[in-house]
Structure 1
Amino acid sequence: MEKLKINRRKTSFFSELANQINDQQKDLKEFVQAPFSIENFGEIIQTKKQDFTRAQRQALSEVVNQQLADYKDYSKVKSNIDLLAEENTFTVTAGHQLNLYGGPLYVIYKIMDAIKMAEELKEAYPTNNFVPVFWLATEDHDFEEINHLHLFHDKMTWNTDQKGPVGRFSLDDIDTFKSEILDKFDNNPEYAKFLDQFYKKGNLAEATIELMMSLFGDYGLIVLDADNTKLKSTFSPIVKKEIETHFSEREVLKTTNKLENIGFHGQAMARPINLFYIKDQFRERIIPLENETFQIGEETVSKVDLLKDLEQNPECFSPNVILRPLYQEFILPNLCYIGGGGEMSYWLQFKAMFEEVKIPFPLLKVRNSVQWFDKSTTKKFDKLGLNYLDVFESIHAVKKQYVLDNAEVELDFTTLQEKSEALVTELIKTVTDLDKGLEGYSKSEATKIQKQIDQLQQKLIRHQKKKSDDAMKQIDGIYKRLFPNNGLQERYETMVPFLGKYGVEEFVEMVYNLIEPSEEDLIVMVDK
């Protein structure tokens, strides 16, 4: 294995805003608590210690103890569960949807980022404790985004008619989907047996916890399902404020306007009330109407009845994308949220909303991104004599350079280009010296000459490309393999084949050793 790095800004896969959040947060100081750095954790530790009440900590501790009761055989998990009850314990959090069998590769990268970040903080602030948390988006309803995975060029889909919060989905009709996955590993029965043990009992949230604890329990990860009555009850005063004052929309719109004034667009759209009403198989927006009434699905309810329902059934009130971060930071003693560039972009809209309800805003960290070059791909690189990092340029530039480097007759246009530029300059000078009024004409003719020379160069390169047809096809194959759908591999490929290829424990350990929380560059892992 060889570990390389390339500046994110030298690739086309990250937006300018994502790059700023990654390496120039000082330019976004109005929208963040403080620029991300180990040194800046000191102040937020003190702020969170003062803000996070004993009641909040007790509720969290009780819920985690209950949800992870079956996983205390992992010594680090048991230790971290116990530590959550102590006032000098804080969390580092990453979160994601309930993707089947772990989801895209970047999920394991963000989880390991949180695990390694907690370890680094313990070294920097030894009198405190730091626990990595993975937040499950169990109240999400976008099942179409998570009901499938891509495996060996095929798409497998769990087809079900269930609706509402995905975490509450029953697993009764998942067997066909599982069978399609297991059939792909007929030649690896031990790994197929490993996969088969999951998604057999409980609901989708419980099954996801079981999988994640199997993969990361040895590293002390705490997996949290916040769709919980006790946790929602502690948060209900803020839900009440949202229903009565619509504070989140007001504050988010203020911040979004400021972001747009400096050239960035808001990623998350705030609504008058940023809550859903949920039950099993039911998830509908709470929409304010006239005369202090609210629409929920096909029903209309009064404010009095809605607030009474909140008091009696807080678990039915679900924060949407706007309020979910606020809920997270309210119920956790959290210091830092780790996510991809897209996630971080919408977090920038929320700081004023946090300040309105006096909840400390966390530090924001863009997760590590990793590009994995497998053995067959690296063999093609070596055979073609390509540099691994060159592949982050456009495919056309790589092909052109290959042709120039491997032409039977050396295609070096440097001398020709220098002479053509000198000719053009002399032509313009000669004509304008004779008649200043012909300057425009001379420049137009000079441009035609330069275009003819450029066309000649391109024709020669195309000719050589045809003679290097096999190499061109191999370069096409490399790009298709590394950048499915013209994006980073980590967003398309799942962790399933990697766990099977390298071994479950072995691959998780490889990722652990690969991740560097302080690293701002794109990490490239070359398997030789």
Structure 2
Amino acid sequence: MKRITVNRRETSYFSALANQINDNQNAISKYIQAPFNLENFESQIALKSASYSTAQRSLLHTVLTQQMTPYKNYNKVAQNLELLKDKNTFTITSGHQLNLFGGPLYVIYKIMDAIRLSEKLAEKYPDQNFVPLFWLATEDHDFAEINHLELFHDKISWESQQEGPVGRFSLEGMDGVKTEILAKFENNPDFAEFLDQFYTKGNLAEATTELMMRLFGEYGLIVLDADNSDLKATFSPLMKKELESNFSEKEVLKTTEKLEEDGFHGQAMARPVNLFYIKDQLRERIIPTENGDFEIGEKTISKEDLLKELEAYPARFSPNVVLRPLYQEFILPNLCYLGGGGEMAYWLQFKGMFDQTDVPFPIIKVRNSVQWFDKSTNKKIEKLNLDYKDVFESIHEVKKQYVLDHAEVELDFSALEEKSAALMEELQLLISSLDKGLAAYGKSESTKVQKQVDGVKQKLIRHSKKKNEDAMKQIDGIYKRLFPYNGLQERSENMIPYLGKYGPKEFVGMVYDLIDSEENDLILVIEE
């Protein structure tokens, strides 16, 4: 196994803003608290220490102890839970939706990035403690986004009529999904047995926690389901502020406008009220009306009554994508949030909202990205005499270059292009010398001739490609394997095949060795 890297900016798989957040946060300093580097955590620790109360810490410890009780057999988990009572303990957080059976590969990468960063910070700041924490997006309601997975090119879906926050869903109907998944691993009975123990009891949030803890428990990961009435109660003053003043939308719109002036686009859309109302299987937007009341689904409620309900039943109120980061940073002693480039881009819209509260904006970080080159793909690359970094060019460029490099008659057009350019110039000069008014005509005719020359070149390349048809198919196979749906494999490939191929513990251990929280480049893993 060999690890090499390639500059993210030399690929087409990351946006300009994601690259900026990844390797040049100084250029976006007005949208963040402080650029990501280990030295800046000293001031972030002081900032968080001053704002995070003993009562908040005590409550978080109580809730997490209750949720993590089944996993105290992992020594590091038990130790981290105990450390969370200490005022010198801080979290490093990542989070994700409740995808079936773990979700795409990058979920493993982002969790491990949080684990590795916690370890680096512990070395640099030995007087403090750092706990990796995974935030479950249990209050999401878009079931269609998470009710399926793709496995060996087949889509496996969980059909359910349940509604509301997905974390509360029972596992009814999951047996059929598991049967389809296990059938894919008939030739790997040990791994099938491993998978079969999950998604058997509890709700979707508890089932997801169980899988994540099995994979990362020995590394001390703490998993939090923040759909909790006690945690919501402490956050209720800020939810009340939202209902009374719509403060989040105002600030997010201001910041988004500045981002757009700087050439970037906002990722998250703020609403007048960035809260949902949840009850049983209901999850509806809270929409203010012109007369000061609120619409929730088909019902209308007065502001006075809604505020009374917030005070009595805070668990019925759910922060959406805009307010969720504020809720997260309010209830956690958190220093840093890390995620994918797109995910981190919308955090840039939120600094102004944070500034309207006493909650510090965290240091933000783009997680490591990893591209896996399996043995079969590597053999094709080596057979074609390609470099591993070549494949981050467009497939058309790679094919074209291969044809040029392997033509029976060398297709070197440099001399032709040089003579063609000289001919076009001479032709235009001749026409202009006869009549300057014909300059435009001369340029037009030169363009026509140049197009004819280009047409001959393209025809020769196509003819040569046909003679290299097998190589072209090999290149197609390389790109299909490495870039499913024209994107990095980490975004679409489920983690299950990798856990099955190497073994769950072994694969997670390999990722542990690959991830480096200070790495800015795309990591390539070359199987040998």
* TM-score (norm. length: structure 2): 0.98
Shift of 1:241: 1.0
Alignment of 1:292-441 (within 5 A): 292-441=292-441
Question: Separation in 2 of the partners of 1:160 and 1:308?
Answer: 34
Answer whether contact 2:118 2:130 (CA < 8 A) is retained.
yes
Question: Separation in 1 of the partners of 2:124 and 2:435?
Answer: 74
Shift of 1:486: 1.1
* CA distances 1:386-422 after superposition (whole Å, capped 9, x unpaired): 1111111111101011111111111111222222223
Shift of 1:291: 4.0
Shift of 1:431: 4.0
Provide the secondary structure at the position in 1 that maps to 2:55: helix
**For residue 208 of structure 2, what is the aligned residue in structure 1?**
208
Between 1:157-166 and 1:404-413, the stretch displaced more is 404-413
Provide the secondary structure at the position in 2 that maps to 1:310: helix
Q: May I ask how many residue pairs the two structures share in their alignment?
A: 528
* CA distances 1:325-357 after superposition (whole Å, capped 9, x unpaired): 000000001111101111111111100110101
Answer whether contact 2:160 2:172 (CA < 8 A) is retained.
no
* CA distances 1:445-499 after superposition (whole Å, capped 9, x unpaired): 3222222222111111100101111111111111111111111111100100000
Provide the secondary structure at the position in 1 that maps to 2:132: strand
Provide the secondary structure at the position in 1 that maps to 2:14: coil
Between 1:24-33 and 1:204-213, the stretch displaced more is 24-33
Q: Which amino acid aligns with 1:47?
A: L
Question: Separation in 1 of the partners of 2:426 and 2:79?
Answer: 79
* CA distances 1:27-75 after superposition (whole Å, capped 9, x unpaired): 1111111111111111111000111000110111111111001111111
Question: Separation in 2 of the partners of 1:280 and 1:186?
Answer: 39
Question: Separation in 2 of the partners of 1:295 and 1:420?
Answer: 70
Give the root-mean-square deviation of aligned CA atoms.
1.3
Q: Which amino acid aligns with 1:388?
A: Y
Question: Separation in 1 of the partners of 2:347 and 2:207?
Answer: 28
Question: Separation in 1 of the partners of 2:484 and 2:251?
Answer: 39
Structure 1, unmatched stretches of 5+, are none
**For residue 93 of structure 2, what is the aligned residue in structure 1?**
93
Question: Separation in 2 of the partners of 1:337 and 1:325?
Answer: 9
Question: Separation in 1 of the partners of 2:266 and 2:381?
Answer: 40
**For residue 78 of structure 2, what is the aligned residue in structure 1?**
78
Between 1:425-434 and 1:396-405, the stretch displaced more is 425-434
Question: Separation in 2 of the partners of 1:218 and 1:422?
Answer: 69
Q: Which amino acid aligns with 2:511?
A: V
Answer whether contact 2:33 2:361 (CA < 8 A) is retained.
yes
Q: Which amino acid aligns with 2:176?
A: T
Question: Separation in 1 of the partners of 2:418 and 2:515?
Answer: 47
Question: Separation in 1 of the partners of 2:32 and 2:233?
Answer: 28
Shift of 1:290: 4.1
Q: Which amino acid aligns with 2:303?
A: K
% identity of equivalent residues: 68
Provide the secondary structure at the position in 2 that maps to 1:284: strand
Between 1:422-431 and 1:506-515, the stretch displaced more is 422-431
Q: Which amino acid aligns with 2:141?
A: H
Between 1:194-203 and 1:125-134, the stretch displaced more is 125-134
**For residue 160 of structure 1, what is the aligned residue in structure 2?**
160
Provide the secondary structure at the position in 1 that maps to 2:445: helix
Q: Which amino acid aligns with 1:55?
A: A
Shift of 1:175: 0.3
Question: Separation in 1 of the partners of 2:303 and 2:141?
Answer: 25
Alignment of 1:79-158 (within 5 A): 79-158=79-158
Provide the secondary structure at the position in 1 that maps to 2:361: coil
Q: Which amino acid aligns with 1:252?
A: V
Provide the secondary structure at the position in 2 that maps to 1:358: coil
Structure 2, unmatched stretches of 5+, are none
Between 1:191-200 and 1:285-294, the stretch displaced more is 285-294
Between 1:309-318 and 1:322-331, the stretch displaced more is 309-318
**For residue 41 of structure 1, what is the aligned residue in structure 2?**
41
Shift of 1:385: 1.5
* CA distances 1:286-333 after superposition (whole Å, capped 9, x unpaired): 122244422222222222222222122111110001100000000001
Question: Separation in 2 of the partners of 1:440 and 1:270?
Answer: 53
**For residue 449 of structure 1, what is the aligned residue in structure 2?**
449
Provide the secondary structure at the position in 2 that maps to 1:5: strand
Shift of 1:269: 1.1
Q: Which amino acid aligns with 2:468?
A: S
Shift of 1:231: 0.8
Question: Separation in 2 of the partners of 1:299 and 1:412?
Answer: 73
Provide the secondary structure at the position in 2 that maps to 1:68: helix
Q: Which amino acid aligns with 2:68?
A: L
Provide the secondary structure at the position in 1 that maps to 2:286: strand
* CA distances 1:129-178 after superposition (whole Å, capped 9, x unpaired): 11111000000001110111110010000111110000000012210011
Alignment of 1:44-83 (within 5 A): 44-83=44-83
Answer whether contact 2:368 2:522 (CA < 8 A) is retained.
yes
Q: Which amino acid aligns with 1:340?
A: G
Question: Separation in 2 of the partners of 1:326 and 1:20?
Answer: 23
Q: Which amino acid aligns with 2:263?
A: G
2:280 corresponds to 1:261:
no
**For residue 171 of structure 2, what is the aligned residue in structure 1?**
171
Q: Which amino acid aligns with 1:356?
A: Q
**For residue 224 of structure 1, what is the aligned residue in structure 2?**
224
Question: Separation in 1 of the partners of 2:125 and 2:147?
Answer: 41
Q: Which amino acid aligns with 2:352?
A: A
Question: Separation in 2 of the partners of 1:489 and 1:216?
Answer: 22
